[in-house]
Amino acid sequence: MTPEKADQRYWDKAAAKYDRKSAYGEGTLYSECIELVKKSVEENASVVDLACGTGLIAFNLTDKAKFITGIDYSEAMISLAKAKQESSGLDNIRFFKADAHHTGLENHIADTCLLCNIIHYSKTPESLLLEAKRLTKPNGLVVTATDCYASVRSIRGFFLLIALFVARSLRLIPWFRFYTFKRLRNELENSGMVIIAERKLKYFGARGLFAVIKT
């Protein structure tokens, strides 16, 4: 099994518990991220959510955004997201399976593109950022939230870093990149977009960076 298939299988298996584990839970980006995303998305905006999972963030935007398109490469994640959409009766949100690096969607269809909890999992973040830029209208926004495990400054964070490195090496968890804040900022700015706002996040001994980028 290739590493890419192993990672996809991991997310398929995690789908059933994804909402319970992630929603406002300690140790995830989502607790603070959801509120920051909601503040960043303008009223009646069209939104594309890349690596949407089960729609945890996307469903929190349905009362504000005009239309939301959620994309994920995990069949199980998308199946659960579609089931939630059908049971909710919401008609301003849709989900489909696709690679976030190559979605097949038309150019400039979104006012805002979300890249939450995905950049550090990408082995080619430059192509992911270029796809987000392509999907977003000129002067639109790309909203990101990214783990920066290499920027920890605590004993708890140090031991977490070691544990994650071992787990990644043994393929117990998906591959991910150990970003520092500086390295992540360089990655974002090298995409040709401009960071206009950011906020450092702390959770479970780890660090993350929430950033709003203008295309």
Is 148 a residue whose pLDDT tops 80?
Answer: yes
Displacement of CA 121 from its chain's centroid (Å):
9
Confidence of residue 18 (pLDDT cuts 50, 70, 90): confident
Is 27 a residue whose pLDDT tops 80?
Answer: no
Residue 168's contacts (CB-CB under 8 Å, 6 or more residues apart) are 174, 175, 176
pLDDT the model gives residue 52: 95
Could you tell me how many helices (H) and strands (E) the chain has, helices first? 6, 7
Express each pLDDT in 71-129 by its tens digit. 999 999 999 999 999 999 999 999 999 999 999 999 999 999 999 999 999 999 999 99
Query: Which domains are assigned to the chain?
Result: 3-214 (3.40.50.150)
**DSSP class per residue in 145-160:** EEE-GGG--SHHHHHH
Do residues 214 and 196 lie in contact, with contact meaning Cβ atoms separated by under 8 Å?
yes
Do residues 59 and 87 lie in contact, with contact meaning Cβ atoms separated by under 8 Å?
no
Confidence of residue 24 (pLDDT cuts 50, 70, 90): very low
Cα separation values, 79 from 1, 2, 5, 105, 119, Å: 23, 23, 18, 20, 23
